[in-house]
Amino acid sequence: MYLWQRTEWPKFLWRADYLSELLAGVRHRQGRLLGQMEALGFPSRQEAVLRTLTDDVLKSSEIEGERLDLEQVRSSIARRLGVDIGALKPADRHVEGVVEMMLDATGRYDQPLTRERLFDWHAALFPTGRSGITRIRVGAWRDDATGPMEVVSGPMGKEHVHFEAPPAERLDEEMARFLEWFEAGPAMDPVLKAGLAHLWFVTVHPFDDGNGRIARAVADLMLARSEGSGQRFYSMSAEIRQERAAYYQILEETQRGPLDVTPWLEWFLRTLDRAIAGAHGTLGNVLQQAHFWDSIAQVPLNERQRLVLKKMLGGFEGKLTTSKYAKLAKCSHDTALRDIAALVESGALVRGPEGGRSTSYHLAGISDQPGGALRSAACGSSGYRD
């Protein structure tokens, strides 16, 4: 029996006394992080938001086995936030749609979550009306035309069913009840509400595809409300990505368990706590960046040099070589050599131990290179259909 099949559904229960200390600790660390970020200068705070949102978009997609282009995501977010990162890489429609959904969820956290808004998010996720090569219903609840909605894994013919969602004829009623609770339900801590909203949404699984990503966006919206800010300084999706197996396990166990969802909320709070702790890595990297720019404030830089340095501080992957500099700056090899030589002489770049054409360069005083906090591990398909 699944949660939605129980007589008292959706009257969730949890042990408030058991969770109270954990919740208080999470809220305390959440407040401290926000205070630390607010103390940063505006450019540094914007860079922290850019890094966090980029990580959030990348990792939420990776949870479902999909890897997006880092530079496209970063460029799309930077353009929408008005952050100058130099030349922007054009983003395809799919990337733009994912970014649009995430920015709407967090940036407009004070706006009500409605059926139409969820439909808009879904349409943004699937701009071609297809999931892979399969045509799906976009901007509408699923209709189960091809059978019941199931979360499965394993090869074709040997699939393991982890979960079956409520039938399509119940979706209008189920989602109306969810949205009413989300906006006007009983008073409760919004961090706990974020965890319950995530679980409730994936239990109903209202769309043909994209339910996991939208559930995480719904939770992010409520977390933004808990902070009274649309600026994101930690990524819940990035932490879930690191613990993807545990994420699916706790979801499956909860779906097959009683309406006492204390274990799920405990997992959610501990994962959120780790996400907040992980944000200090982003903070440290942003402070390193600010220190780097301060250290070369008196160094005359041309537009090519400034562009490449910004790339190295942001979503740059691999080592900088003369040929890569020439490609990034759209200049000749000789011009690249002169620019790099000037940066090395000024102390902005440090020459690597290699010689000849393979000589590489890295930024002086920046320990986490290349790509900063945004390095993204390659991943394969999770085997789950969200």
Active site residues: 205
Tokens of 231: 């600026």
Tokens of 302: 């041309």
Query: Which long-range CB contacts under 8 A does 143-151 form with residues at least 24 apart?
Result: 143/168, 144/168, 149/205, 149/208, 150/385, 151/205, 151/384, 151/385, 151/386
**CA 234 vs CA 46, 51, 162, 179: distances in Å:** 13, 9, 30, 25
* 135 is annotated as contributing to ligand binding: no
Cα-trace Rg, the chain: 23
- Angle value at C-alpha 348, between 347 and 350, nearest 5 degrees: 75
Asked if 75 and 85 count as a contact pair (C-beta separation under 8 A), the reply is yes
* 285 is annotated as contributing to ligand binding: no
The C-alpha atoms of residue 21 and residue 30 are separated, in whole angstroms, by 14
* 248 is annotated as contributing to ligand binding: yes
* 210 is annotated as contributing to ligand binding: yes
* 212 is annotated as contributing to ligand binding: yes
DSSP β-bridge partners for residue 51: none
* 85 is annotated as contributing to ligand binding: no
* β-pair type (160-164, 349-351): unpaired
Which residue has tokens 């009257």?
11
* 213 is annotated as contributing to ligand binding: yes
DSSP β-bridge partners for residue 1: none
* 214 is annotated as contributing to ligand binding: yes
Q: Which residues define the annotated binding site for ATP?
A: 209-216, 247-248
Binding positions are 209-216, 247-248
